[in-house]
């Protein structure tokens, strides 16, 4: 799988991607449901400009204080600015965008918040033109712990590497670095979490290899994350740990509202606002110029946030 497809101009199999993404949402949602006594409620929605999706959302669960596993397939007559900024040649084209995105905010501070996204984008060739459609995949997963356990972080990164290695040794180092750089808050000078993998604009290996790589990353999520939940969901905690969790959640909110491309694209393309902003935690806290006590468990989080080679 490490070699590119014989034809980099293969026509994308849009229906196959859509079927995979819908099945992925169902599979992940069912597995997460098994971890919680609360219910992931499914809601279908339509977008006036074209397309729609299914949102599976839990609030106030026993394990997940809020979580969303979302499928969307939207289309439009003209690309939003966020999608065409790096490709001025496709500005104004009609488009289709589909993906599965999830964010989970656990109740227990010892269970990390996590995020997964896999997506597929097509900018259609102008009608009557000899130009080809332009398509690409993107996605990744990352971990945002409050009280990190090294074993969990190493295993999460190992799962990311195992998902990518069959396609070539070059992908994991590149996508890990991309994740470290993307999930970073410049105004704070700190990463959002401990990273994982992130990629975008993936088309060069050809459609079949790009699609297979994206599937591999998506299917690695549950084996990477569910064992962490099961290990720590019943761990006792006090108001101190809960308070620090809410403080760190504030950083998550800052990133999603200021920097996250998915949030910006969803809002600019007329997506369903409730589904886009379900990634926000239900509770968060900000303090003025607060710093944890030196050598405290809270202060040690900073050591984990510094990018390193975990595997």
Cα 272 to Cα 45: distance, rounded to the nearest angstrom: 8
Residue in 115, 124, 157, 172 annotated catalytic: 115
The answer to whether 199 touches 178, Cβ cutoff 8 Å, is yes
The answer to whether 260 touches 183, Cβ cutoff 8 Å, is no
Cα 196 to Cα 115: distance, rounded to the nearest angstrom: 10
| Residue 115 known to be catalytic | yes
Torsion sign (Cα): 17, 23, 176, 168: negative
The answer to whether 3 touches 9, Cβ cutoff 8 Å, is no
Q: How many CB atoms lie within 10 A of CB 219?
A: 15
Cα 118 to Cα 261: distance, rounded to the nearest angstrom: 13
**Beta strands 41-46; 51-59: pairing state:** antiparallel
Q: How many CB atoms lie within 10 A of CB 291?
A: 9
Q: Active-site residue numbers?
A: 115
């Amino acid at each position: 799988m490490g070699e590119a497809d014989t034809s980099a101009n293969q026509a994308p199999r849009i229906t196959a991607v859509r079927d995979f993404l819908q099945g992925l949402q169902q599979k992940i949602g069912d597995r997460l449901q098994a971890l919680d006594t609360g219910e992931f409620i499914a809601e279908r929605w339509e977008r006036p400009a074209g397309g729609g999706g299914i949102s599976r959302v839990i609030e106030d669960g026993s394990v997940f204080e809020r979580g969303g596993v979302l499928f969307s397939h939207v289309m439009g007559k003209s690309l939003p600015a966020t999608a065409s900024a790096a490709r001025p040649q496709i500005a104004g084209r009609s488009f289709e965008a589909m993906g599965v995105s999830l964010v989970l905010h656990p109740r227990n501070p010892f269970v990390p918040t996590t995020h997964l996204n896999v997506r597929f984008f097509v900018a259609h060739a102008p009608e009557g033109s000899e130009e080809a459609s332009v398509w690409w995949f993107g996605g990744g997963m990352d971990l945002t712990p409050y009280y990190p356990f090294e074993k969990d972080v190493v295993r999460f990164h190992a799962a990311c590497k195992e998902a990518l290695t069959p396609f070539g040794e070059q992908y994991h180092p590149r996508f890990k670095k991309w994740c470290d750089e993307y999930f970073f808050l410049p105004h704070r000078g700190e990463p959002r979490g401990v990273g994982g993998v992130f990629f975008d604009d993936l088309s060069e290996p050809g459609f079949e290899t790009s699609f297979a790589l994206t599937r591999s990353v998506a299917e690695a999520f549950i084996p990477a994350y569910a064992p962490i939940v099961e290990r720590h969901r019943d761990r006792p905690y006090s108001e101190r740990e809960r308070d620090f969790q809410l403080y760190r959640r504030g950083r998550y909110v800052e990133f999603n509202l200021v920097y996250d491309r998915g949030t910006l694209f969803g809002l600019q393309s007329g997506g369903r606002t409730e589904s886009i902003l379900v990634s926000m935690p239900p509770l968060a806290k900000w303090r003025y110029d607060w710093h944890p006590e030196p050598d405290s468990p809270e202060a040690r989080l900073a050591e984990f946030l510094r990018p390193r080679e975990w595997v």
